[in-house]
Structure 1
Amino acid sequence: RLGRGRAHRWAMLRNLVKSLIEHERIKTTHARARELRRVADRVINFGKQGTAHARVQAGKYVSTRPELVKLFTILAERYKDRPGGYTRVLKTYPRIGDSSPMSFVELVDRPLHTLRTPPTLAEQPQ
């Protein structure tokens, strides 16, 4: 239950889904990440359906227009042949302040330009 009431918990999950669609990778606590994965996969399934009813259903989770457009165009096209499992949870180091277990939640098959890679020796300034 993530230590919140029903309304607060769903508001938090909707915000996490919106951020995941916008950034395609977010960092959160491990418990939140596991719940987010369930909700995010459901929302991406709505995007793949592409019907008017699916837009209404997805609008209950994602309330901003840019993320809805990205969901029904870019993400729906990216995952059209994938039957499920659109997100990945990767554990990382504990949070500094309270040692809470942290995780990254990311969309699988995201393009390489969204990945941050360190510069090679040739690209570093001299």
Structure 2
Amino acid sequence: MPTPTKGPRLGGGPAHERLMLANLAAALFTHKSIKTTETKAKRLRPVAERLITFAKRGDLHARRRVLATIGDKTVVHELFTEIAPLVAEREGGYTRITKLGFRKGDNASMVQIELVLEPVTPKVRSTRTVAAPAAATEPAADAADEPEADETEAETSVPVEETDAVETSEPVEAEEPSAAADEVETEAAEKADDK
């Protein structure tokens, strides 16, 4: 008895399942996006990603391995010449599954599985710069008093950029006292005297 694969069995037997997944993969590579049930899409994802990994290698042996799964030469040619160069920088995750809702007839969960062909944007790693030690700029007498404080200041100090820009502001106009403002001030003064 063959060892069972993870997930539900598709079709009547293992040969039928392999043919269904090969046909789904061929349709995915042809149309770049297909609409299917969630179960089929989850079973298709590792098959399609493995075939794309073979296509990225691009040699004759890889082409024959893909042809063993997908019998259509035009689909294999499209996979090797069009899709593989678009995902050359990507290290995995060539497919995306998006849930669409439920099918009207049998309430099956429907998804859209598509190829991720957008270019990869590498993550930018921020480098942290450490400022020059503060102990070198201070006199030796101060450094002898508190050596621990100088080490922590050097680690936490951030370099400050100096500029020649000067901010100017216009003079503030003097406010004219109004009758309402005088009344509020006298009431506040009376309350302060009562306390």
Instruction: Extract unaligned runs of 5+ from structure 2.
Output: 1-8, 120-195
Aligned residue identity for 1:12: M
**Equivalent residue for 1:9?**
17
Trace 1:35-114 onto structure 2 (pairs within 5 A): 35-109=43-117
* Corresponding residue SS for 1:48: helix
- Partners of 2:12 and 2:103 in 1: CA distance: 20
Contact kept? 1:24, 1:110, Cα under 8 Å: no
How far did 1:110 drift? 5.7
Please list the CA deviations of residues 81-120 of structure 1 after superposition, one character each: whole Å capped at 9, or x if unmatched.
1111100011111111000111100001269xxxxxxxxx
* Corresponding residue SS for 2:97: strand
Runs of at least 4 residues of structure 1 off by over 4 A? none
Tell me the TM-score normalised to structure 2 length. Answer: 0.55
Tell me the TM-score normalised to structure 1 length. Answer: 0.84
Percent pairwise identity:
43
Q: CA RMSD in A?
A: 1.4
Structure whose CA Rg is larger: 2
Q: Does 1:30 align with 2:63?
A: no
More contact order relative to length (CA 8 Å, sep ≥ 6): 1
How far did 1:3 drift? 4.7
Instruction: Extract unaligned runs of 5+ from structure 1.
Output: 112-126
How many residue pairs get aligned? The number is: 111
